[in-house]
Amino acid sequence: MRVLVVGSGGREHALCWALAASPLLTALFAAPGNPGIAGLATCAPIAATDIAALVAYAQANAIDLVFPGPEAPLAAGLADAMDAAGIPCCGPTAAAARLESSKAFTKTICDEAGIPTAAWERFDSAAAARDFVRRRGAPIVVKADGLAAGKGVVVAATEADALAAIDTIMTDRSLGEAGASVVIEECLVGEEISFFALCDGTNAIPLGVAQDHKRVGDGDTGPNTGGMGAYSPVAAFPPTADAAIMDRIIRPALAAMAARGTPFRGILFAGLMLTADGAKLIEFNVRFGDPECQVLLLRLKSDLLAALLAACEGELAQFDLRWHDHAAIAVVLAARGYPNAPERGSELRGLDAAAAQPGVHVFHAGTARDAAGRLVAAGGRVANVCATGPDLATARARAYAAIAAIDWPEGFYRQDIGART
Ligand code: AMP
Ligand code: GLY
């Protein structure tokens, strides 16, 4: 099989690493890829959202399967375009990708399908939103309804904080028109986890659970990021809990999407809060998480490519995956200034020495080669130092020992990934 991976982050490097191990693989391509991926795949300089160029490239290279990493190409119709060209693509159509691109759509699906989620209401007027907050009290969550690049959510501990958030988002329009209306939600309390399932439109199989660390600083401080580290398995979520999430959240969502004529194929990522009343959905994403993907794939024993093919062929009902018992961790190395203004261009040394340590894998994210061939920072999240071990403490110690072998004074990382358990 000739496979094309779309994207350029640590998630896509890990996907290429797992696909490269498949006995079914004959040739691996990535668009646009990164210098780490270039060691495993032929990289084409095509942007992940350039749908027409990706289809032309897949046709020219006789690609048998496309796997998109990020959500943007899916929301832009990559899977629809590949379907039209007769090329199997393991990702949702744009219509099915609305599970990530629209908060209100997801809440509607939850209501239709009886999926447990935070109680919510949407308001177009600041006065009505303020009244609601005064009636409900704190804690409470205020969200800009539109896309706000992760800046639109305020988890308000006090009524005053919630009222201030309404003023900032709706009256001052701090996020522009994304704040023309707000969604106000019940505040869920508990451990937050990322649950993944592989879906074929009708059937789904669990792909594991990881815990992300979204804040930039140690102790969950500072601004939200794409994710500063992850680990799996998660002690707060025993493997026996998979079945309940599949039955109460994943399969009802699949059934609702199929009933609308927009069946969901690909990776369904449920952001869950493990509350005292059971798991509740915070949000869906229509792709693997980054860096969650890295730790899940380090635990997968079965052939990833065979599973993706089965999803494209509607054959997941008969499919089963095997997992290693070991723990896996990913620590993100980020460029100073991330997430607001990461500094680019500084040289990274010692990645190979780190990767040579026992149980350690280094995945590239925002790296590039400069004119002299040096490896330099070219993004916010620059590399992932990952490790496996018989337990999380061992995996964690291995990852941090490997980081010590890396010479990159312009970078930083969280010291406490996986430490809370
Ligand atoms: P979202 O953009 O909806 O993923 O929200 C960003 C973050 O805000 C989530 O990862 C949660 O940590 C937090 N959050 C969102 N909704 C809620 C909620 N209803 N209760 C508590 N925390 C929430
Ligand atoms: N790490 C969270 C995400 O990929 O959305």
- Ligand 2 centre and the CA of 26: distance in Å? 30
Within 10 angstroms of residue 362's Cβ, the number of other Cβ atoms is 26
Residue 290 and residue 68: Cα distance in Å, rounded? 13
Q: Name the closest ligand to CA 220.
A: 1
The domain 2-94 is placed in CATH, from the list 3.90.1330.10, 3.40.50.20, 3.40.50.720, 3.40.50.2300, at 3.40.50.20
Give every residue of the chain whose pLDDT is below 70, as ranges: 147-150
CATH number of 119-186: 3.30.1490.20
Query: What confidence tens digit (pLDDT) does each residue in 141-162 have?
Result: 999 887 666 678 899 999 999 9
Residues 6+ apart with CB under 8 A from 331: 228, 229, 384, 385, 386, 399, 400, 403, 413, 414, 417
Q: Which residue has the tokens 């439109």?
A: 201
Q: What is the pLDDT of residue 150?
A: 65
Q: What is the pLDDT of residue 147?
A: 66
Pocket of ligand 1 (CB under 6 A): 118, 141, 153, 155, 185-188, 192, 214, 271, 282-283
In the chain, what are the helix, strand and coil shares in percent, each to the nearest 5?
Answer: 30, 30, 40
Nearest of 369, 329, 129, 351 to residue 231 by alpha carbon: 329
Q: What is the pLDDT of residue 238?
A: 86
211 lines ligand 2 (CB under 6 A): no
CATH number of 191-318: 3.30.470.20
285 lines ligand 2 (CB under 6 A): yes
To test the pocket of ligand 1, the residue of 140, 143, 155, 272 to mutate (highest count of ligand atoms within 8 Å of its CB) is: 155
Structure tokens at 221: 């401080």
Q: What is the pLDDT of residue 224?
A: 87
CATH number of 327-412: 3.90.600.10
Q: What is the pLDDT of residue 114?
A: 97
Domain residue limits, the chain: 2-94, 119-186, 191-318, 327-412
Q: Name the closest ligand to CA 330.
A: 2
Nearest of 74, 66, 117 to residue 96 by alpha carbon: 74
Residue 411 and residue 421: Cα distance in Å, rounded? 26
Q: What is the pLDDT of residue 175?
A: 87
Q: What is the pLDDT of residue 149?
A: 62
- Ligand 2 centre and the CA of 186: distance in Å? 22
- Ligand 1 centre and the CA of 119: distance in Å? 13
